[in-house]
A and B are shown apart, each in its own frame.
Chain A
């Protein structure tokens, strides 16, 4: 640890916090808090990207950081807060699996992700290669968050958290994807959120709630 320069130590701390936030999102049932956690996660991603840009001198990382700040820290959380207010959804119902069990599954996922990342990290030449495991873990944990939730809004937050994990992974393995791709992905995410916004209103209009328990009619044994 002593051999590692200080900025990388900070990056490691940020990565650890990134992971911790994923777990808090897994446990959180208040949707407003969930969105705030998402914003904080975006903020950590932003700080990490700026730090990395400063360290490596790659200008496109600054752009990517600006994109993260605009979209993931400010834009989307704001949009989600608006939606929460307009649609009046504040709490998720009891999760499908009890929280402690979810946490344990989460831990197993983290171990799995770290194992998965090991061979890749060994090949990477970036200074941040170790954090790749954390990125994979965050992606899978976000997936778990989506699976264990009933409310549409929480599932969307899980989806966005997954995107955060993907960006973090891209950053730690290769200092980010080419700019064209990052722009495209960001655009897609933005459009996805707009589509969702429309979608939420349609769902609410139809069901008077955003609870996905209504969504159990299309099954094979109709």
Chain B
């Protein structure tokens, strides 16, 4: 590992952490346009974060240390995931250090802390949110793993950078299995990031909220970190999706700085497209009742498994 590799890695992390709220802003902007509203600025998420960081933190009296630590852990985990997902270049110190399964483990860690913190205060809504969050996670995780397995089987490795390299270096080929898993992954993405149709990120109705309910007790910098972590999570999922299904344009070690510059442009374009399609999908679909969420995720799991079976049978 050369020094430049570490520099690139640092660049990737910083870029990711900075871009994540913008991506969220972009999704919100698209949504507003599609709904014929006047759109908030692209930088709106930054403004809210800024506001929150300058407020005084208020903690519940019975809050345990875990409650204080959780935002840092969650945020830290998300930053680590940013480092691991090869969004810009494949051979970086962190990306080769952990594989796809470790990645799922990291995401699970963040979820565990989030849920524990939500239950920590003992308020009803927090507990409700935590329970729902865990239910969604419990159903989404197998589907996510299946998706990763299919990609791993096609490229014979569980290491994300290698998967990206294999898939991007191939000439154009039709993979029905990848198409199935891509749909499954999109469904997991929606569920995991509390988007419509599973959860409404803009809701203020306590009874139906999932993700928001876990954050009710947080304020100021803690809330800011949690919000930022949530936007990072979305960013990470989109990046994982890009790595698995649209890795074209990602830089490999041999390509040097120009490759990296190209990769940044490619990534920006892909994020724009992904963000706007997410907004489009959210606009045209309605929120499901929470009881239907298992069906939704079971479908995702089914698609992923079908993808795997189709791959096994057709070799495609």
Contact = CB atoms under 8 A, between A and B. Distances in A.
Interface of A: 1-2, 4, 6, 9-10, 12-13, 15-17, 19-20, 23, 27, 99-100, 103-104, 106-107, 110-111, 114, 117, 130-131, 133-134
Contact of A114 (B299, B302, B309, B315): B309
A5 B236 CA distance: 35
Interface string B191-226: 000000000000000000000000000000000000
Given A15-B314, A114-B312, A100 B294 contact: yes
Contact of B314 (A16, A103, A106): A16
B contact face: mostly helix, strand, loop, or mixed: helix
B179 A103 contact: no
A117 B310 CA distance: 13
A9 B179 CA distance: 13
Contacts of B312: 114
Contacts of B228: none
A134 B315 CA distance: 13
Nearest to B171: A2
B170 interface: yes
Chain B: interface size category: 20 to 34
30 contacts: A1-B173, A1-B175, A1-B315, A1-B316, A2-B171, A6-B174, A9-B316, A12-B316, A13-B176, A15-B310, A15-B314, A16-B176, A16-B177, A16-B179, A16-B306, A19-B310, A20-B303, A20-B306, A23-B302, A99-B298, A104-B298, A107-B305, A107-B306, A107-B309, A111-B309, A114-B312, A130-B313, A130-B315, A131-B313, A134-B314
B299 A103 contact: yes
B295 A99 contact: yes
A110 B314 contact: no
Contacts, number: 71
Nearest to A134: B313
A23 B294 CA distance: 17
A9 B302 CA distance: 22
Interface of B: 170-171, 173-177, 179-180, 294-295, 298-299, 302-303, 305-306, 309-310, 312-316
A10 B294 contact: no
Contacts of B177: 16
A176 to B, nearest CB: 20
Report whether over half of chain A's contact residues are helix, strand or loop; otherwise say mixed.
helix
A137 B313 CA distance: 11
Nearest to B175: A1
Given A16-B310, A19-B306, A100 B298 contact: yes
A130 B314 contact: yes
A197 B291 CA distance: 38
Given A6-B174, A100-B294, A107-B306, 14 more contacts: A1-B175, A4-B316, A9-B174, A9-B316, A10-B174, A13-B179, A15-B176, A15-B310, A16-B179, A16-B180, A17-B176, A99-B298, A103-B298, A107-B302
A11 B312 CA distance: 16
Contacts of B174: 6, 9-10, 12-13
A2 B173 contact: yes
Contacts of A20: 180, 303, 306
A107 B302 CA distance: 7
A100 B293 CA distance: 11
A12 B309 contact: no
A12 B176 contact: yes
B306 A110 contact: yes
Contacts of A100: 294-295, 298
Nearest to B294: A100
A52 to B, nearest CB: 15
Contacts of A27: 299
B315 A23 contact: no
Nearest to A27: B299
